[in-house]
Amino acid sequence: MSGRDEAGLREALVASLQEVAPELDPVALRADRPLRQQLDIDSFDFLRVLEALQRRTGIEVPEAAYPAFDTLDGALTWLLAQV
């Protein structure tokens, strides 16, 4: 499992995104822009990202939290609140 600090959670999230979108360039990823638009992924791929993230961190993301995962910043804020 990745670390439960901001850097560790970001690393786990980016790795989960890359699992679904291997062409992702983490340097080009904008933290304040919608992730699904940046990666051109659909809702099924989005769920795959969350499943990969749960495997890496042990943190389950309930459906009510999905809107927080619109952006990288939002996702990290939500994840940090869980640890």
Question: What CATH number does residue 59 fall under?
Answer: 1.10.1200.10
Half-sphere exposure of 45 (CA within 13 A, CB side): 14
- The pLDDT score that the predictor gives to residue 4 is 78
Q: pLDDT tens-digit profile of 24-81? A: 999 999 999 999 999 999 999 999 999 999 999 999 999 999 999 999 999 999 999 9
- 66 lies in some domain: yes
The three-class DSSP label of residue 4 is coil
- 51 lies in some domain: yes
Residues paired with residue 47 on neighbouring β-strands, in sequence order: none
| Domains contained in the chain, number | 1
CA pair distance 19, 17, nearest whole angstrom = 5
Could you tell me the residue range of the domain that residue 31 belongs to? 6-82
- The pLDDT score that the predictor gives to residue 1 is 46
Q: pLDDT tens-digit profile of 3-13? A: 678 899 999 99
Query: Cβ distance 35 to 69 under 8 Å?
Result: yes
What is the reported pTM? Answer: 0.88
- 1 lies in some domain: no
- The pLDDT score that the predictor gives to residue 3 is 63
